[in-house]
Amino acid sequence: MIKPKVALEKGSKKLINAWAFYDWANSVYPLVISSAIFPIYYGLVFEFDNQIDFFGYSVKNTAMISFVTAFAFVVVAFITPLLSGIADYVGNKKKFMKFFVLIGSLSCVGLYWFDLETIYLGLFFYFLAMIGLWSSLVFYNSYLPDVAFEEQQDRASARGYSMGYIGSVLLLLFNLSMVMMPDAYGIVGTEREAAMLAMKYSFVSVGVWWALFSMYSFYYLPVGTSEHKVTKNIVWNGFRELKKVWNDMSDNIRLKRYLIAFFIYSTSLQTVMLVAAYFGEEEINWGSNADKTQGLIVSILLIQIVAILGAILTARSSERFGNLKTLFVINLIWAVICVYAFFIETPQQFYVIAGFVGMVMGGLQSLSRSTYSKFLPETEDTASYFSFYGVTEKIAIIIGMLLFGVLDQITGSMRSSILFFCLFFVIGALMLLRVPKEQKV
């Protein structure tokens, strides 16, 4: 790739926008694949039998996707410390970020071949796409203190999420038009066949969008100048860096207590967001398959549109009331949402809860990231600290998805699982009260 003639200075609007633009590029995966089109497609694949024969064991389809997701995060939690340690040493986070973008985008294209006859291959592509996304985000997040000063980071983080919502909604609208009006795009077959083929084309569009638009961020993001070469001695450097970060936190009570609270509420946050569409697909009485498809996509669009406002309001609230107070209130709102979700049955009720989810979804993610960045000590080793942040989040997701999958498999219903995760939001909110407003040694 051609390098810019002049490297942009930290804090410049153009550099921050280039960093935030990666949210525009990658957010189509969480929306189209994780939240909207793929859960509907997955439900149609298992429309007549929701059990998967997995090496002789009968597993409920929604429990299976939870287990595959958990395993993907096990891999991500293991490999990111290795890679971030190497990236710190050779001074080029961008190269590793590019690699995972390539893996993720190609795997999205590979989902075109997801079907009952190729279920293992399809699940493997789903698995690789998740690894590509979440591994790239480790390096992306670690760029935040490199491109923005502390007073800019809340708004920069919110800008990234807002750009992600806008870009992903644009692609989803295009995908929705393909699914609802396949004839207009030359997609033929029965109503079910045409809709499923349009969904497969949507997966391909995600891969192309992700790879194409990430190029703008890569063009402007800074590249390290170290000329060190990777040797056997530094392969495990990432884990040593994680241990060093943990040891350093013994003198940073605020950061340590914040991470504990973040770990607890992330166990619920990411799990609920990852399974929300599967919950709507299975537990809500939509009527026909066409109504279900349209209703779920409209719900996801509602979430994304409201989330743009939610991320902005959260950034403003943090400026007026402080990050910790804002995070505390958002966690309590999430707890109420989980309780309400246990009782909903109709599409109208699902739309209501979608609106509330949109208001607090991006806000909690965005503010959590920028709060962590603010609490970091003075250091140039941002990749290791954000690797620790990433590993903390991944372990929380692993625990959350495994718990959800087990409860879903045992009870046969996703409702009890959703209600259970209310506890993590409440405990996480209470743990935030223990975080000192100022650093204490």
The string of pLDDT tens digits covering residues 164-191 is: 878 888 998 899 889 888 999 999 888 8
Whether residue 226 is predicted with pLDDT greater than 60 in this model: the reply is no
What ranges do the domains of the chain cover?
13-222+237-432
Superfamily the domain 13-222+237-432 falls into: MFS general substrate transporter like domains (1.20.1250.20)
pLDDT score recorded for residue 121 = 92
CA 9 distance to own-chain centroid: 29
On average, the pLDDT of the chain sits at 83
Query: Which of 4, 130, 19 minimizes the C-alpha distance to 67?
Result: 130
The position carrying tokens 């003075």 is 378
pLDDT of 441 strictly over 50: no
Q: Distance between CA atoms of 236 and 95, rounded to whole angstroms?
A: 19
Q: What is the pLDDT of residues 382-434, one digit of tens each?
A: 667 877 887 888 888 889 888 888 888 888 778 888 888 899 999 999 999 99
Measuring CA to CA, which residue among 134, 432, 93, 383 is closest to residue 245?
383
Tokens of 250: 């013994």
| Amino acid code (one letter) for 22 | Y
